[in-house]
Amino acid sequence: MPTLIRNQQIVDEPSPPDLVVLEPTDDPRALAERLPGLKLIAVNFPKYSDGRGYSIARLLRERYGYKGELRAIGVVARDHLQLMAQCGFDSFQLREGEDVQDALRAFGDFSESYQANAAQPVPLFRRRAGR
């Protein structure tokens, strides 16, 4: 069974029955009016090289203001976790065979992000200017 990481903690929890799953070809705009009532949206990454889920996450968080849990599913590996978190994901269903402890360390690989993102909407140069 794949391991679930939420807020950088390992959790053991089944997915709720009302889970909404978005595929890379889905338009998040179709969910815009339903977003306030959704607690969990999963975005599928069907293969390692398909990055459309990153764009879906940013649209949900930044354009549509989604505040619920946003989960990355499918081919989710350690190398993706830091960027996925910057795009707005707060839970990650690791693919089978991923080293969970190594995956948790991925969140500390980089101490800063230069550009603005869903997790840190102010770019580094503006944060430094405010000191």
pLDDT digits (tens, 9 = 90+) for 64-121: 999 999 999 999 999 999 999 999 999 999 988 888 999 888 877 777 777 877 777 7
**Percent of the residues in the chain that have a pLDDT greater than 70, as a whole number:** 98
- Residue 96 contacts residue 2 (beta carbons within 8 Å): yes
* pLDDT greater at residue 92 or residue 122: 92
For the chain, the average pLDDT equals: 89
Tell me the CATH number at 111: 3.20.20
pTM of the model: 0.85
Query: How many domains in the chain?
Result: 1
> In Å, how far from its chain's centre is CA 40?
11
The domain in which residue 125 lies consists of 4-129
Question: What is the pLDDT, as a whole number, of residue 109?
Answer: 76
Question: What is the pLDDT, as a whole number, of residue 74?
Answer: 95
pLDDT band of 131, cuts 50, 70, 90 = low
